[in-house]
Amino acid sequence: MNLLERLTFFIKDNSLFEADDKILLTVSGGRDSMLLTFLLAKAGYQIAIAHCNFKLRGAESDLDESLVRDFAEAHGIPFYVRHFDTEQIASERGISIQMAARELRYSWFEELREALSFDKIAVAQHLNDHIETVLLNLSRGTGLQGLQGIQAKRDRLIRPLLFLKAEEVLHYVQEYQIPYRDDQSNFSTKYARNKVRIDIIPQFKKMQPDFERIFEQNIAHFKESYALLQQFITPLRNDLFIKEQEVWIIEKEKLRKHITDLPLLYELFSPFCFSKSVLTDLQSCFDKESGRLFQSEGYDLLLDRDFLIIREKEYKQEDETIITSETKSVSWRNYSFCCDYSHDVSIVRDKQIAKIDANLLIFPLTLRAWKTGDYFYPLGMTGRKKLSDLFNNYKVNVFEKGNVPILINGNGDIIWVANYQLDNRYKISGNTNKVFILSCK
C-alpha cells in the first residue's frame, strides 16, 4: 500500500471520522503536522488549520506561524491562529510553561471546534510519540492503563498518524518536498521525552532494528489485558462511584470490604490518578481522620465522616463580586443574588434571605469565599465565632465551605454567611427605619 492507502486504512480501521466530517488540524509547523495536513488535503477531506503562537522562542515562533500560514494560503486551507503570553499565564496559574501551553492549546482548539462546527480535532502524533509515552510512564511508575500509550481516538480528538514511525515521517516530507520547521528545543536532552527519543530508543534499536513495530505489538497486548481487567473493574466502579454534579461520592461502608486490597483500590481509583502511596495513606486512616484531604495531579479526595468525595482540582483565581448601593442583581460562582430596599422590619425566617439594617452598611459590599481566620458574631449568640467552627457545626465539608458566599461590609465586617447565619451586629432592631434585603439562590 502507498502512504495515502495506509492512512485511509488506519482511519477506517480505528473509526476516526467519516468522509464528510469537518476536521480541525492542529499544526505547529513541524514535520509531522505538516505531513498530516498535506495528506488530508491531498485526500480531499474538509480541513482547516489551527496554529498556536506561544511567543516562547521570539522570532522563531513567528517564523513557524508564517510557514503554516503560507502553506494554508497556497493550498486554499482555512487558517486560524491564536497568540498566547504563555510565560505570564503559567506564572499566574502557578504551573509549568509546558503545562500552561498544553492547557491553552487544547482549550482553544475545543473552543474553535464548537464555534465553527468542526466534527473532530486532529493531532499529528506518530508511533514514536506513542512509544515514548509508554516508556515515560514506565519510568514514572504506572499500571496497565499507562502502558496503553496514546489513544488513536478519544472523544473528538483523533491521531491519524499513529501508524507511522518517526523515520517514515522524515522520509515522506522529503519525498513530497513538504516545508517544515524544526523546534530546536526538541533536540535538547534536558527534557525527559527528548532524552527517551534521542538517547534511549536508539539503544533498543541496536538490539532490535524493528523495535518500534515490536513495541507497538506489546502495547496492543497491554491494551487487551487492560480491557479484560476493566470487564471486572468497571461494573464495580460504577456501583461505588456515584457522580453528583461536579463530584463523585463513595459510601465508606460500601468501600469497606475492598479497602485492604491495594491493587484493587489502585484500579478503582485509576481514572483519578491517585498513586499507590496516597492510597496506602487512605487505607491507614480510613476510620481515623475525617476531614483528611488526599491529592493527585488533577483531583482532590476528601475523607469525610460517611463518604469519600472526589472533585477535579480548581485552578481559578480568588474571585470577588462587588455590590453597590444601586445594584439590583449580581452573581457569584453558582449563586445569584437579588438586592432590594424596604421599610418592612418584620423578621423573615428563611436562611436564603438576609434582612439587614441599611443604615449600618458601608458600600461597596463584597461577596467572596471563606478565608482562614474569618470570624463573625452569630445572630442570637453572644461573642464571636470562627467561620470554620460554624461550618463544623453544620457539618459542611472542606469542598463545600469554599463555595459558601460570604457578604462583607465596606469596613471589613462579615455581615452574612449566605444560607447559614446573619451577623448579630447587622440585624434589624427597634431603631431600624430602612432595610436592605439580599436574597440568594
pLDDT average per 10 residues of sequence, the chain (441 residues): 94 96 97 97 96 92 96 97 92 86 93 96 96 91 84 95 95 96 82 89 94 95 93 96 93 96 94 91 91 90 94 70 93 92 92 95 94 92 90 86 92 96 94 94 88
CATH of domain 321-440: 3.50.40.10
Place of cell 483500590: 265
Terminal Cα distance for the chain, rounded: 63
Rounded CA separation 230/144 (Å): 11
**Domain ranges across the chain:** 3-215, 241-312, 321-440
pLDDT of 82: 95
pLDDT of 317: 46
DSSP 8-state assignment for residue 423: B
In this structure, what are the phi and psi dihedrals at residue 323, rounded to the nearest 5 degrees?
A: -120, 120
Entry pTM: 0.64
pLDDT of 372: 87
In our burial notation (b when 16+ CB lie closer than 10 A, e otherwise), range 59-97 reads eebeebbebbbebbeeeebebbeeebebeebbeeeeeee
pLDDT of 132: 94
pLDDT of 192: 86
pLDDT of 191: 78
CATH of domain 3-215: 3.40.50.620
DSSP 8-state assignment for residue 271: G
* Common-topology check for domains 3-215 and 321-440: no
pLDDT of 318: 55
